Each structure stands twice: as C-alpha cells, then as structure tokens.
Amino acid sequence: MSAAALLVAILAALGAAVAAALHDPVVLVGLLAALSAFAAAVAAGAAAVQLRAPNTLTEPRHPQGPSAPPPLPDDVLARRGAFGRLWWIAFAAFALAGLEPLISLGRMPRRNGTAWRGGARLVTPQGTPLRPDDLAVGGVTTVFPEGRVDAPESAVLLLRLQDGVMQLGPERRDWVQQGNVAFSKICTHAGCPVAIFRHLTYELYCPCHQSVFDVLHGAQPVSGPATRALPQLALDLDRDGYLVARGDFAEPVGPDSWWRTL
C-alpha cells in the first residue's frame, strides 16, 4: 500500500513537472501536483499505521520550576552601585537618541492638499474639459484638474441636477453652475471613493462602509459611519465657457486625523 502510493506520488510529481514545462492547462498541472502530495501523504500515513507502534510509551517529564540553587553567584546579581545605575541611564539615553532617526522617517503633521487651483478646468480621466451642458441632468462623472489627472486626493464627482434643486446656504449659491455641482470623491470616513450616485434620492453611497451623503444639502452624511460632509468644490465658468474651479477645497479632503485643523 505504502510503496504503491509512493510510486503514484513519484509519477504524478514527474507528470506535473512535464505538464508545466509543456504549458498544459493550469488545472492539469495543479491536479497532478495535488495528487502527488496526497499520494505521498497516504504513503506516509499508511506506513505509520503499519508500524503498529503503541501510543503508550512513557518518559519522565522534567520538573520546570525555578532553578535551584541560584544559577549565578549571588554577588553577580547583587552588585549595585553608582556605575551600574549609570549604565541604565546610558541605555535610556541611547534609546532616546535613537528616537530621532525614527521620528525623521515621517512628517508630522501629514498634509496632503489637492491639485485643485483657481481657474483649473474640470477634465474627465481622459483629459476632456467639460462645459455645463456636457452632462445630462441626473448624470455623474469623475473629474480632475486639467493636467493633473490621477493626482492623489484630487478626484471630484461632478453631478448635474435640475437647476435649483440644490438646497445650499447663501455662501454656496454661486458654487453651482447650471445644475453642475462638484464634491470630493474621497470619503471622509476611511478614504474610499464614494463612487455610487443614487440619482432618484440624490444620494452618494460609499461601497466600502455604506456611508450615504445627501447631495442636495451639500453632501452631508445621513447614514453610515461618516461624520463629515464631502468637501464641495466651488465651480465657475471660464471665458471659453468651460467649467473651472474657483480654488482648492475650503476643507481638507479624505479621512480625518488629529492634526486636521478647521
């Protein structure tokens, strides 16, 4: 039994190697390799059973208590004095000094910022600039500042709603251009892209932790674990009629941290 199984293991292993070298389908290579392993397991297992070795042999356990007598002469451990204490202080100093290179590895606080600047055109990921009429009402697309497609933390969702449905405070009235409104796409909870727009209820939905943001009220969180609105990008039109940003976001985008000041 054992020898037969081991023979199968040998043949299957060689077969798997040949099949892999000939670029046979993955499944064949994998099945042969698995067969080889299982056959070897059977060979070893059957051999173990055939031994009929008892599971009842005994040997003493060593007592594992404190060593006795004391392993070191008393005076080695007992030696104390100013010099000994100085060593502890020295070790503490070395550890403190070692902190400096460690701290230098990261900046504190981390500041990301985005690539948005006043007058930057809104472009699709393919780089096409957009006019207010390019999106159909109810439409949504991801935009970047022109020339900075893929810039970190700068992804923005451009939504087109019916003119006048937005219920924003007076200071944000002119951030909307002919129903076009823009919010940071980076979730304020854990940074995932808030990629889903439910146009019937005017909600943005994050697929990671199911935070829901109410677009009509400035993307305030209404459900899920997010606590802060998606920052809104103030929109304007340039002389050629393209949508542009009025400037960078007024608030930090993305997840919060200790040093976020607002």
Partner 1 sequence: MILRRVDRFFDERLGSDAWVRYVFAKLYPDHWSFYLGEFALYCFVMLVATGVWLTFVFQPSHAGAFASVIAFTRATPVGYLMRQVHHWSAVAFIAAIVVHLGRVFFTAAFRKPREITWVLGVLLLVTASVTGFTGYSLPDDTLSGTGLRIADAVLLSIPFIGGWAADLLNGGGYPGPLLIPHLYVIHVYFLPVTIGALLALHLGLVFYQKHTQFEPDPAHVVVGRRFWPDYTLRTLAVFFATAGVVTLLGALIEINPVENYGPYHDWLVTNPAAPDWYAAWLDGALRLGPAVEWRIFGHPVPAVFWPGMVLPTLAFLLVVAWPWIDKTITKRDEVGDVLVPPTAAPWRVGVGAALVTAGVVLTLAASDDQQAVGAHVRVTALVTLYRILFPFGSIAVGLIAALLAAELRASRAGRGAERERVVELVRNAEGGFDAREPHST
The yes or no reply on residue 207 touching partner 1 (CB under 8 A) is: yes
| Closer by beta carbon to partner 1, 160 or else 228 | 228
Closest approach of Cβ 149 to partner 1, in Å? 10
Q: Which parts of 60-99 interact with partner 1 (CB under 8 A)?
A: 60-64
For 107-112, the CB contacts below 8 A with 24+ separation are: 108/259, 109/257, 109/258, 109/259, 110/257, 110/259, 112/152, 112/153, 112/252, 112/253, 112/254
Please compute Rg for the chain using Cα positions: 34
Shortest Å, Cβ 128 to partner 1 = 16
Sites for partner 1 among residues 136-155 (CB under 8 A)? 142, 150, 152-153, 155
Interaction between residue 105 and partner 1 (CB under 8 A): yes
Q: In angstroms, rounded to a whole number, what is the distance separating the alpha carbons of residues 108 and 87?
A: 32
Applying CB under 8 A, which of residues 56, 67, 126, 162 lies at the interface with partner 1?
56
Which of 82, 97, 108, 136 is in the footprint of partner 1 by CB under 8 A? 108
Which range touches partner 1 (CB under 8 A), out of 78-86, 92-100, 188-196, 234-242?
Answer: 188-196
Query: What is the length of the chain?
Result: 262
Nearest to 119 by CA among 257, 249, 237, 251: 237
What is the distance between the alpha carbons of residues 206 and 138, in angstroms, rounded to a whole number?
18
Contact residue for partner 1 among 47, 140, 216, 237 (CB under 8 A): 47
Residue in the block written with tokens 């674990």 = 225
Give the count of residues interacting with partner 1 (CB under 8 A): 81
Q: What is the 3-state secondary structure (H, E, C) of 123-167?
A: ECCCCCECCCCCCCCCCEEEEEECCCCCCCCCCEEEEECCCCCCC
CB of 70 to partner 1, least distance (A): 19
Contact region for partner 1 (CB under 8 A) — 59-67, 75-83, 85-93, 232-240? 59-67
